[in-house]
A = this chain, B = another copy of it.
Amino acid sequence: MSDLSEAPSRGSARLHILDCAKRLFAERGYDGVSISDIARETGASKANIFHHFESKEGLYLAVIAEVVRRVPDHIDALSSEHDIVEAFQELAAAELTEGAKDETGVRLILREIISGDPRRSRVLAEDIFADRFTRLVDLIRTHQDTGTFRKDVDPALAAHVLRSASVFFILGRDVLRHMPGVDFADDPDRYAREAAALVLRGLVVRDSSEEK
């Protein structure tokens, strides 16, 4: 497998191993993939994998680190849009399109989230999500201060609901495809925009006049 004629340029084998391992780990999880599997997939020998990486866990952590390193950030780009709903739609669509394109990366991180290992949960939370989550919360809070957003909503909670809608879409796509009445499973862009609009505008019609 993977006989790409040549091009053994410096460190290419290492990258190839990382790439294959990433896909396999994303598909089957850490315990579901053996070094032999990765070796077979890369076309290299088992021993060579241990030459490039100190252990199976070392390889796995390297894969995670590589995925994390490549996670782009779309939040900054929208600060000064004129229509706030449109801006959030744009943000959600950009993130979800990106996520759908590199589904293996998303799956990998999500597997890590539910792994339940408290150490890794903490590391992941602080190193990766905390920063952009905080910025999203700040963005919401800013709009609350300016009066664009209602003030009786916890900004962190709202941020989490927005994130959930995006993340769980990718996570549950296979199931979603088999749901009756669902025609957006293969259209991340449309889903992202409609979901963002939904959370911003709400589901109930806006004649009810209740104040907290």
Contacts and interface: CB of A to CB of B under 8 A. Distances in A.
Given A114-B172, A121-B174, 11 more contacts: A28-B116, A116-B174, A125-B177, A126-B178, A133-B180, A148-B204, A153-B203, A156-B179, A198-B202, A200-B203, A201-B202
Contacts of A133: 179-180
Q: What copy number does this chain have within its complex?
A: 2
Given A165-B164, A181-B137, A198 B113 contact: no
Interface centre among A107, A164, A169 (most CB of B within 10 A): A164
A195 B157 CA distance: 7
A82 interface: no
Interface string A160-192: 110111011101101111111111100000010
B198 A161 contact: yes
A147 interface: yes
Given A31-B28, A153-B194, A130 B203 contact: no
Interface of A: 27-32, 84-85, 107, 110-111, 113-114, 116, 118, 121-122, 124-126, 129-130, 133-134, 137, 140, 147-150, 153-158, 160-161, 163-165, 167-169, 171-172, 174-184, 191, 194-195, 197-206
A211 B176 CA distance: 29
Contacts of A110: 114
B181 A134 contact: yes
B169 A160 contact: yes
A177 B200 CA distance: 25
Contacts of A114: 107, 110-111, 114, 171-172
Given A198-B199, A201-B204, A203-B199, A113 B154 contact: no
7 contacts: A84-B204, A122-B174, A122-B178, A130-B179, A148-B205, A201-B204, A202-B202
A195 to B, nearest CB: 5
A182 B160 contact: yes
